[in-house]
Chains A and B, each alone.
Chain A
Amino acid sequence: MSEVRSSRDPLSGVRDPLGSGLAEPVSLGSRIPDPGSRLLSVEHLTTGFDLKGRFVAAVIDVSFHVAAGETLCLVGESGSGKSLTALSIMGLVQPPGRIEGGRVVFKGRELRELPEREMQKIRGAEISLIFQEPMTALNPVFTIGSQIEETLLVHGRATRRTARQKAIDLLDAVSVPEPHQRVRDYPHQLSGGLRQRALIAMSLACDPSLVIADEPTTALDVTIQAEILDLLRSLQKKMGLALLLITHDLGVVAEMADRVAVMYAGRIVEEAPVTEIFSAPAHPYTQGLLASIPGGAPGTKLQAIQGTVPPLGELPPGCSFTPRCPRRFEPCPKAHPGTTLIGTPTSDPGVRQAQAGPSPSRGGPGIPDPGRVHAVKCYLYSDAVDPDIRDARTS
């Protein structure tokens, strides 16, 4: 018989799996997430490439925050700028790419102003990155054990004598079977799922408070993907990790996210708590993405978004989504819309209709709870547009 369980718990039965061998032992769960605190905030980030003497922006005026212990999903298609956003946070943008402007504030420190030596202490230790393709992220000529040990040694989290045992404990914590043997394996000797687990073990080696996972399960089979997602979820709960999860799969978003930011052509076009994104998507792009998921009556046409993502540097004037938007109207091609807050951030998402009409609470009074904000960049909701024209469109 196959076994049914609600969630996998790879850490059960492992006593203090990440703390042993540490100079300063940490107990799991010691960092209780404070929902209001901003661990990371990205403000007006613009990153792009110098191409043929011209600066082409690929991430445009992006702002968001991640609170301690929460999961923010950054959703978008390829070329939407989600991976470049991750690299910008980590300070890993290489020429011809460069960060043009904006701030990246982590635990109150502006990372862009830190000298490289300081940044190296944060990278991999306080913020770690999990890549999409575990085969290319691991070095093929070193055993996975030695690669995990290297991370520990570089950040002074273990000595040469304790590193091996700590690496084994880490592999055990991410449910790699027979970690004593696997620690001596080279990446090619492991399956894709085990490689991704080894990579997660490495990213957790220094007990980070933020993990950025860039499409961590895209290269994996669906059953392995489910295992990795379950693992990330349980590690997050145990360690109080904040997770910035970059994905294009809305199924993964629904399973993992607390909040969602939808990116299109370099901009965040909508941000909302996960339940609102699915129950009341506001931006026509978000609505189109959700509608294109197969799931209607079998054999019927899928609802596709027409056209393709515009190439870098050839963004249409105004709102970048205009040429593909089924609900475009006069102001759309003129200028990019500003941010509108819709609904009251604390309201019951079930009350509002999927296509939020004009509501008296638009741009709500007072300071909204940052974890409950539903913000959208679209003229359908903008006060800058004549209400009569706008309301005729939204109805």
Chain B
Amino acid sequence: MPLLEVTNLVKHFSRRRGLLAPPSVVRAVDDVSFTVDEGEMFGLVGESGSGKTTTGRCILRLIEPTSGQIRFKGEDVLSFSRSRLRLARRDMQIVFQDPFSSLNPRMRVGSIVEEPLIIHRTGNTAERKARVAELFELVGLDPTQLKRYPHQFSGGQRQRIGLARALSLNPSFIVADEPVSALDVSVQAQVVNLMMDLQARLRLTYLFIAHDLRLVRHICRRVAVMYLGKIVEMGETEAIFAAPAHPYTRALLSAIPVPDPAASKQRVVLDPSSFQREAPLRQIGTGHVAAV
């Protein structure tokens, strides 16, 4: 049984255009379905505005979806009461993209990591302090720096703090929303290695939201490609990279800058008339579907 099952997820944002004009509707997530297996790092890729972040937040109910179904460990997340949802959130956490704005600049980093434990009334003061120190070690930070403020850390270290906070309640599932895209290249590799290491050690499952396809190819076994609120292609990462079926996926893959000056620069330009937006996903190969 998959750990997470998302079925026909829809999120519409309505936007007022004026006092009398009818509100316009943005279909940010438009009938998205996928499953994530336990212990998997599942990639969700797409450009800004494709709905990948909204999808991630709907799963945690940080945004209430318009319709659809989300089953986590077999339970219907959308039917959870407030108190049941709070309990569920121990098990599903999020790491944000921007390590600068996602940490409160006025709080010491030790308190930032401890805060989820206080909110969920876990342990006494001494137990919490010990847990925070343990988490710091787990993510490769020096526990003697607990009293410092976020600005005293580099971007990579801050993202480790964000990871420590997400891990504080022992979750089994983490939505990682572009966790390394704000980091320098040499530091990205450190944080990605840490995430893979933690995945193995703590049996974590990730929904890895990204736009860096080179990285996704390296770390995700399966991937879904989103375009304008819909999944246009999904399957084994290697199968998709070897033979992208959807015109958008082809354009996306060809746009990746190749770190080899001798590589041929064959660019595929997306022609929106080359595919039907409403086309259903159909089987292309083993474990490989595309909306063509």
| Residues in B228-278 with C-beta less than 8 Å from chain A | 237-238, 247, 250-252, 254-263, 265-271, 274
Does any Cβ of B come within 8 Å of A61's Cβ?
no
How far is B198's CA from A393's CA once the two chains are assembled, in angstroms?
A: 35
How far is B211's CA from A4's CA once the two chains are assembled, in angstroms?
A: 22
Q: Which A residues are in CB contact (< 8 Å) with B219? A: 294, 298-299
How far in angstroms is the closest Cβ of chain A from B256?
6
Does any Cβ of B come within 8 Å of A43's Cβ?
no
A221-B48, A295-B214 known; A78+B196 contact, CB < 8 A: no
Q: Which B residues are in CB contact (< 8 Å) with A275? A: 261-262
Which one of A230, A250, A294 lies within 8 Å of B215 (CB-CB)?
A: A294
How far in angstroms is the closest Cβ of chain A from B1?
23
**A interface residue count range (under 10 / 10 to 19 / 20 to 34 / 35 or more):** 35 or more
Structural contact, A2 and B270, CB atoms closer than 8 A: yes
Q: Of all chain A residues, which has the CB nearest B192? A: A302
Structural contact, A255 and B157, CB atoms closer than 8 A: no
Does any Cβ of A come within 8 Å of B84's Cβ?
no
Does any Cβ of B come within 8 Å of A248's Cβ?
yes
Q: Which A residues are in CB contact (< 8 Å) with B247? A: 1-2
Q: Which B residues are in CB contact (< 8 Å) with A4? A: 266-269
Q: Of all chain A residues, which has the CB nearest B186? A: A305
A289-B185, A301-B196 known; A3+B271 contact, CB < 8 A: yes
Q: Which A residues are in CB contact (< 8 Å) with B184? A: 77-78, 248, 309
Does any Cβ of B come within 8 Å of A352's Cβ?
no
How far is B109's CA from A179's CA once the two chains are assembled, in angstroms?
A: 50
Structural contact, B213 and A222, CB atoms closer than 8 A: yes
Q: 1/0 per residue B162-198: CB within 8 Å of A?
A: 0000000000000000000000111111101100100
| Residues in B147-170 with C-beta less than 8 Å from chain A | 154-157
| Residues in A71-92 with C-beta less than 8 Å from chain B | 77-78
**B interface residue count range (under 10 / 10 to 19 / 20 to 34 / 35 or more):** 35 or more
Structural contact, A226 and B185, CB atoms closer than 8 A: no
Structural contact, B186 and A226, CB atoms closer than 8 A: no
Does any Cβ of B come within 8 Å of A252's Cβ?
yes
A294-B215, A296-B218, A308-B154 known; A302+B259 contact, CB < 8 A: no
Q: Which of A5-13, A105-113, A162-170, A376-384 lies on the face that meets chain B?
A: A5-13
Does any Cβ of B come within 8 Å of A347's Cβ?
no
Q: Of all chain B residues, which has the CB nearest A256? A: B257
Structural contact, A294 and B260, CB atoms closer than 8 A: no
How far is B238's CA from A295's CA once the two chains are assembled, in angstroms?
A: 12
How far in angstroms is the closest Cβ of chain B from A249?
6
Does any Cβ of A come within 8 Å of B217's Cβ?
yes
How far is B268's CA from A5's CA once the two chains are assembled, in angstroms?
A: 7
How far in angstroms is the closest Cβ of chain A from B248?
9
Main secondary structure, interface of B, reads helix
Does any Cβ of B come within 8 Å of A186's Cβ?
no
Structural contact, B157 and A294, CB atoms closer than 8 A: no
Q: Which A residues are in CB contact (< 8 Å) with B251? A: 2, 223
How far in angstroms is the closest Cβ of chain B from A159?
38
Structural contact, A255 and B192, CB atoms closer than 8 A: no
Q: Of all chain B residues, which has the CB nearest A224? A: B47
Q: Which A residues are in CB contact (< 8 Å) with B256? A: 222, 251
Does any Cβ of A come within 8 Å of B131's Cβ?
no
Q: Of all chain A residues, which has the CB nearest B254? A: A226
Which one of B48, B156, B189, B260 lies within 8 Å of A303 (CB-CB)?
A: B189
Q: 1/0 per residue A210-252: CB within 8 Å of B?
A: 0000000000011111100110000000000000000011111
How far is B155's CA from A223's CA once the two chains are assembled, in angstroms?
A: 26
Does any Cβ of B come within 8 Å of A394's Cβ?
no
How far in angstroms is the closest Cβ of chain A from B234?
17
Does any Cβ of A come within 8 Å of B221's Cβ?
yes
Q: 1/0 per residue A266-307: CB within 8 Å of B?
A: 000000001100100000000011101111101111111110
Q: Which A residues are in CB contact (< 8 Å) with B267? A: 4-8, 226, 230
Give the 8 A-B CB pairs with smallest separation, nearest first: A251-B257, A304-B189, A294-B218, A226-B255, A302-B189, A221-B47, A77-B184, A305-B186
